[in-house]
Structure 1
Amino acid sequence: MLEHDSSESDAQIDIVELLLKRQAELSALLEITRAINSNVSSEALVEMLETIMRNNLKVKKFRLLLLNIDQFFCVSNFGGELEAPEDLQLIADELLPLKVPVHIASHSNPIFSAFDYFIPVHHKDEALAFVLVGHFDHGERLLENSVDYIQTLINVIVVAFENKKLFKERLYRERLQREVELAKQVQNMLIPQNLPKNVFLDVESIYRPHQSIGGDFFDFIQINNEEFLWCVADVSGKGISAALIMANFQASLRALVSLNAPLPILIEKLNEIVYNNTKGDRFITLFVGVYNEATRKIRYINAGHNCPIVVHQNEVLNLKKGTTMIGVFDELPFINEGELELEPGAIVFNYTDGIVEYDGEEEQSITEEELADFLLENRNKDLKQLHQSLIDKLDILRNYSEATDDITILSLKIH
């Protein structure tokens, strides 16, 4: 009789203990949920988790690892010295495919057996995290419930981490998109919209950035009643950084032109500015020319850029004289200024490498010689028709696929 009363009393104690444990677990889970809904920081969630593990579940050794790209990183640990990353990765590689909690205290590898349980967290068959629990001091009948509870708790927290990560990524993308749109607006403001078309000359352009914003640039500046300067340039790299460098370049160019600096001095100063701003990590290729309507002469410097092509009657000439690209050296090794007299009807065709370079098959590209032949054959067209005919030719060659580089054309036709 006494034995029966004793066993019945023990069962009642177990039920009470289980109920109290369940109540504590639900309360902790509720607190975690409230914290998530209140958008507390990830650090605060980790602190709450560690408190629950230590105080509620009596865990004395704990590791929580989250997956980032293709590697697991420990975001929470207590009890003993943290294992080497490669040891933790070894545990993940062997046990994650099982997708269920595993008792590992008797594992033959001491790295594994230093813990009692391996508890994974998956979402749609994708591993997101895993937990290692050691020195887990629970009664046999309560142990399975505790493991399930830990898995549920970690799953809630990991999903919260993922949501925070996605939210931050969305905010970052939205901010980046706003910055791109702003940079695009600024860049469009820098590109001349109204080009001369008068008794002395016609000027036409095409500007097609590969991305929303590009690294190509051109400008056309009236110096005085008889002279104007034009420039075509290409900065290394793409995107916002390239656009910012080019915006700074244009401001410097216009400032130096307003000081009536000779072309060699202008190129020296531009090189100094670009080199100091980029520390030699970026460079700019450019062509700058000055045309005098009275003398019909152009003075020019080609700084490592695609050679502009001068077409007149049955002749083709490349404007090569100049120097190296700017921004690579603190001082340019040499500067040669070219000069040429242009006859009525001459075309000066300036372009960037998006015209002759394409990341496709060789037959999808146009060589500089083929470009010169095309210009010679189409020299009698007006500039807008000439440009469109060239773009149509490139589209056909490239099967109307997306361009792989910025495309810029600036052409002058002398009357």
Structure 2
Amino acid sequence: MNIVEYNNIIDKLSVHVKSFQEGFSLLSKSSTLKEFGTDFCRILRGNFFISDVNLFFKRNDTTEWKSVVVHNEKCYECLPYLKPSPEVHIEYFSENEFSIIATLPSTDGSFWGLVIGRKIDKSEITEIDKITLQMFLQLLDNAYQSFTNQKKEKQLIFSLNHRVVQLNSLIDTGIEISKLHKTASLLELSLERAVALTNASSGVLQIISENIIVSEIGFPGNFDREKVLSSKNKIDTSVEFQNIKYFFTLSEKESRNGIIAFDQTDEILLQAFARQVLAALENEHLHSEAIDKERMHQEIEMAATIQRKIIPQHLPEIEGYDLAGINIPSLEIGGDYYDVTKLKDGRYLLIIADVSGKGVASGLLVNTLNASLNAYVENDFMLTEVADRLNKIIYKASTPEKYITGFIAILDPLTGTIEYLNAGHNPIFYANNGKLKKLDKGGLAFGMLDFAFPYESARIQLYPGEKILFYTDGITEAMDSEDEEYSDQRLESFFLSENPAKAKSFIENLMADIKTHTKNTPQSDDITALYLSRNR
């Protein structure tokens, strides 16, 4: 090969690489499998100068091939040549009507099948064409993984939005506004908090009577009224009380990446917030704080009821093991969480978590963690990948001061093997041959940083007679009347010395020991513990 031929090859591959990059961007925006397949075939036709490109999809190795894009009905005769296998399979033909038949496996167990006709100029498939085909099959695989991940994220976001709808009337700022009894202060604070809740750049609250603007409030103080009202990137809502309309307009949603469009969640929050303002106006008119307090109590009770449903009332029975757990929130809505779930392969997932802070916001993050974790462990998974995804979800769903520490363990009940990951949580106690070991391998708390932090997992072997205690810092930091904490040392000593026959007895004895320390001192933090022992 001379230098001219070599440069020609490099130039052609460079063009394909650019097309590869543009193609990934295009395919990542697909909303349906049909759109995804159509765009991929269009990319392939443009790069190979082949008009006859046919694409099939197979959900798994037991289902039939389904057509996604068909340009030549004769391609169905080639289906027997599409051979699902763990590796990419490509066959080239020089005499047939179709020049390439390829099968590509995907990470979710599905398969893609390609049946490609002859080139438009009737020329043969070259070595460069074969290299290019390999590149575009890799594009198909990578883009499909991105496509499926985006679908899962959309489903998860839909679920989280639903939970926001359930809890929208419990926003902390709504509670604060409902306690104000001066209309001017109430409206100023309502606009300020509405802007803050949605990350808007500015907002205007217009008070309208008989179609005439009688008053106007803006935030921040140096806001540009016309810019807000004329902005193309804005949301608005209104409430009416005693023939007076209160019209909210928010503009220019800010993010870490600059100005972005408001989403459905922002609209829900603004509408819920406006309803809270209306409730406060009604309370002021009625001069009845009792009505307001009763409404808030009922709503918090509803939120607490929703949250209690994600804390297990009964733990699964695992042959050869004993389990017991407890969750005592310090407020009606807590920020602690634990669960034990049986996975499809017979293993068990055990988790304990602690959200920074307490109240409604922490309760919402607990629900987010629960929904996210359940979504990600439905299929095969790696513990470190689940941790990375949870970190990104919690970061996007929380404010900068909110994060979640957690400890996740996967128990194989047949062997006693436990794979665990500690995400910034206090070290979990493991009694091995009568000695205390602390399980702290893992990484940062979920939601602290928005980048791919390298989480690590570790394994231990739980033998008969050994035990593990999952707990939150509400236990070690439980204080008496002199502000003296229960302490890590006391919990360690209790854990090693207490060996009742039943896990339930261990939890009961632990709570009694904490009560002995705190006596009548009010509980200051959520208390959560999960105890696992192996009997045989």
TM-score bucket of the superposed structures, by smaller chain: 0.5 to 0.7
Cα distance, 1:404 vs structure 2: 0.6
1:25 is matched with none
Cα distance, 1:252 vs structure 2: 0.5
Taking a change above 3 Å as real, the CA distance of residues 360 and 396 of structure 1, as seen in their structure-2 partners, is closer
Match of 2:515 among 392, 395, 398: 395
What letter is aligned with 1:356? Answer: T
TM-score, structure 1 as length reference:
0.58
Structure 2 distance, partners of 1:232, 1:384, is: 17
Cα distance, 1:179 vs structure 2: 1.3
Task: Number of aligned residue pairs: give it.
Answer: 258
Cα distance, 1:196 vs structure 2: 2.5
Contact 2:326 2:528 in 1 (8 A): yes
Matched, 1:170 2:290: yes
1:411 match: secondary structure: strand
Structure 2 distance, partners of 1:177, 1:259, is: 40
Match of 2:314 among 185, 189, 194: 194
Match of 2:337 among 191, 202, 217: 217
Structure 2 distance, partners of 1:308, 1:217, is: 15
Contact 1:205 1:408 in 2 (8 A): yes
Matched, 1:327 2:460: no
Contact 2:471 2:529 in 1 (8 A): yes
1:308 is matched with 428
1:340 is matched with 460
Cα distance, 1:284 vs structure 2: 0.3
Taking a change above 3 Å as real, the CA distance of residues 328 and 166 of structure 1, as seen in their structure-2 partners, is farther
Structure 1 residue ranges without an equivalent (≥5):
1-40, 44-160
Match of 2:503 among 380, 383, 387: 383
What letter is aligned with 1:411? Answer: Y
Structure 1 distance, partners of 2:454, 2:182, is: 58
Taking a change above 3 Å as real, the CA distance of residues 202 and 173 of structure 1, as seen in their structure-2 partners, is same
2:313 match: secondary structure: coil
1:355 match: secondary structure: helix
Structure 1 distance, partners of 2:524, 2:415, is: 40
Contact 1:236 1:284 in 2 (8 A): yes
What letter is aligned with 2:356? Answer: S
Structure 2 distance, partners of 1:162, 1:412, is: 52
What letter is aligned with 1:275? Answer: Y
Aligned 1:233-312 pairs, distance under 5 A: 233-312=353-432
Superposition RMSD in Å: 2.4
Structure 2 distance, partners of 1:244, 1:374, is: 33
Match of 1:405 among 521, 525, 535: 525
Contact 1:356 1:368 in 2 (8 A): yes
What letter is aligned with 2:344? Answer: N
Structure 2 distance, partners of 1:293, 1:223, is: 12
Structure 1 distance, partners of 2:445, 2:399, is: 14
Contact 1:184 1:212 in 2 (8 A): yes
| More displaced 10-residue stretch of structure 1: 363-372 or 184-193 | 363-372
2:32 is matched with none
Cα distance, 1:280 vs structure 2: 2.7
Structure 1 distance, partners of 2:508, 2:493, is: 16
Cα distance, 1:272 vs structure 2: 0.6
What letter is aligned with 1:300? Answer: Y
Cα distance, 1:378 vs structure 2: 0.6
Contact 2:419 2:459 in 1 (8 A): yes
Contact 2:428 2:471 in 1 (8 A): yes
Paired-residue identity, %: 31
Contact 1:204 1:383 in 2 (8 A): yes
Taking a change above 3 Å as real, the CA distance of residues 42 and 350 of structure 1, as seen in their structure-2 partners, is closer
Taking a change above 3 Å as real, the CA distance of residues 216 and 42 of structure 1, as seen in their structure-2 partners, is closer
Contact 1:235 1:242 in 2 (8 A): yes
Structure 2 distance, partners of 1:311, 1:376, is: 7
Contact 2:407 2:421 in 1 (8 A): yes
Cα distance, 1:362 vs structure 2: 6.6
Structure 2 distance, partners of 1:309, 1:376, is: 9
2:352 is matched with 232
Cα distance, 1:169 vs structure 2: 3.5
Structure 2 distance, partners of 1:260, 1:390, is: 36
| More displaced 10-residue stretch of structure 1: 169-178 or 356-365 | 356-365
Cα distance, 1:42 vs structure 2: 9.2
Aligned 1:18-29 pairs, distance under 5 A: none
What letter is aligned with 2:509? Answer: S
Structure 1 distance, partners of 2:283, 2:316, is: 55
| More displaced 10-residue stretch of structure 1: 211-220 or 355-364 | 355-364
Cα distance, 1:381 vs structure 2: 4.1
Cα distance, 1:370 vs structure 2: 2.0
Contact 1:292 1:298 in 2 (8 A): yes
| More displaced 10-residue stretch of structure 1: 245-254 or 385-394 | 385-394
Contact 1:226 1:294 in 2 (8 A): no
Contact 2:479 2:521 in 1 (8 A): no
- Show CA shifts across 1:222-255 (max 9, x none): 1135311011001112111211111111010000
What letter is aligned with 1:228? Answer: Y
Structure 1 distance, partners of 2:283, 2:441, is: 58
Contact 1:280 1:329 in 2 (8 A): no
Structure 2 distance, partners of 1:189, 1:162, is: 33
Cα distance, 1:279 vs structure 2: 4.1
Cα distance, 1:200 vs structure 2: 2.1
- Show CA shifts across 1:43-67 (max 9, x none): 8xxxxxxxxxxxxxxxxxxxxxxxx
Contact 1:217 1:233 in 2 (8 A): yes
Contact 1:323 1:332 in 2 (8 A): no
Matched, 1:205 2:351: no
Structure 2 distance, partners of 1:216, 1:345, is: 28
What letter is aligned with 1:375? Answer: F
2:312 match: secondary structure: coil
Aligned 1:340-379 pairs, distance under 5 A: 340-360=460-480, 364-379=484-499
TM-score, structure 2 as length reference:
0.46
1:190 match: secondary structure: coil
Contact 1:274 1:326 in 2 (8 A): yes
Structure 2 distance, partners of 1:376, 1:303, is: 24
Higher RCO (CA < 8 A, seq sep 6+): 1
Structure 2 residue ranges without an equivalent (≥5):
1-180, 184-280
**Higher Cα Rg: structure 1 or 2?**
1
